[in-house]
Amino acid sequence: MNRLPVAERREQLIEAALAVASRAGIDAATVRAVAAEAGVSLGVVHYCFQDKDELLRAVAAAITAQNLAMSQAAIPPDADLATVLELAVEGLWRGIRDNRGAQLLSYELTTTSLRHSELNQVASDQYRGTWGAVELFLERIEHGAQVSWSVPRSSLARTLVATVDGYALAWLVDGDEEAAIDGLHRFARYLATQTAQFAPAVEEQPLATPPATVQPVDGPVLPGVVEPVSTPA
């Protein structure tokens, strides 16, 4: 067995645990199964992680980190809002469809953490991380598509996450990909209604100056009147 620094060994074990749990569920991700997946001894796992709970917390953190990475997806320069949202929906759905086991695992981690006090921070960390990633993506859309959101990004991020969660969970149940992607496209069109174009900057106009042929005159002058106002003698 190759000797690796602890940090690298932990990453290896997290990947192994993610693979086992995505394939067969959280209950299957025992320390023994993770060790076998990684090709290491039980002692190596216990050296890097105190117990299975600590390992699962690390797995949850890894999933959140993946979500954060998705928020860094490139936005085409000068793309209009409809194009940006279309690309976002397509990319989001590919990530869900191509990682069915990980998607299911994320829900398992959430519900399991709500029932076990030793994991109760997992669900909170998951959602805070996801909301933050989506807020960042919404901010980047503002700058990339030259729009501003008409509602707070934090509120919109929660709405977006809840909607995607709902469609993804329904797809895991019925496998209807067409319904899921259609729903997400409809939601993207809704998002477009929550924006306003940036107002163009108004150029300052130079102050009007009197025509060169008009000579200064004595007496009060009213706005728009060239001739001086006669005053009583």
Q: Looking at per-residue confidence, does 162 or 64 come out higher?
A: 162
Q: Give the DSSP letter string of 87-143.
A: HHHHHHHHHHHTTHHHHHHHHHHHHHHHH-GGGHHHHHHHHHHHHHHHHHHHHHHHH
The closest of 40, 52, 36 to 9, measured between CA atoms, is 40
Fold of 62-197: Tetracycline Repressor; domain 2 (1.10.357)
Mean pLDDT, the chain, rounded, equals: 82
Q: What is the pLDDT of residue 206?
A: 53
User: Which H or E element spans position 227?
Assistant: none
- What's the rounded Cα separation, in Å, for the pair 115 and 172? 22
Average pLDDT over residues 72-99: 80
- Whether pLDDT at 214 is above 80: no
- What's the rounded Cα separation, in Å, for the pair 78 and 169? 34
Out of 24-38, 84-98, 214-228, pick the least confident.
Answer: 214-228
Beta bridge partners of 202: none
* Segments making up each domain of the chain, as ranges: 1-49, 62-197
- Whether pLDDT at 66 is above 70: yes
Average pLDDT over residues 205-226: 46
- Confidence class for position 10, pLDDT limits 50, 70, 90: very high
Average pLDDT over residues 5-16: 93
Can you say whether residue 170 is alpha, beta or left, with left for phi > 0 and alpha for psi between -120 and 50 degrees? alpha
To the nearest whole percent, how much of the chain has pLDDT over 70? 79
Average pLDDT over residues 72-76: 66
To the nearest whole percent, how much of the chain has pLDDT over 90? 41
- Confidence class for position 216, pLDDT limits 50, 70, 90: very low
Domain 1-49, CATH number (from 2.40.240, 1.10.10, 2.60.120, 2.40.128): 1.10.10
Residues 167-200: tens digit of each pLDDT = 999 999 999 999 999 999 999 999 999 998 754 4
Out of 3-7, 37-41, 157-161, pick the least confident.
Answer: 3-7
Report CA-CA distances (Å) from 188 to 34, 97, 102, 135, 169.
39, 18, 24, 15, 18
- Whether pLDDT at 73 is above 80: no
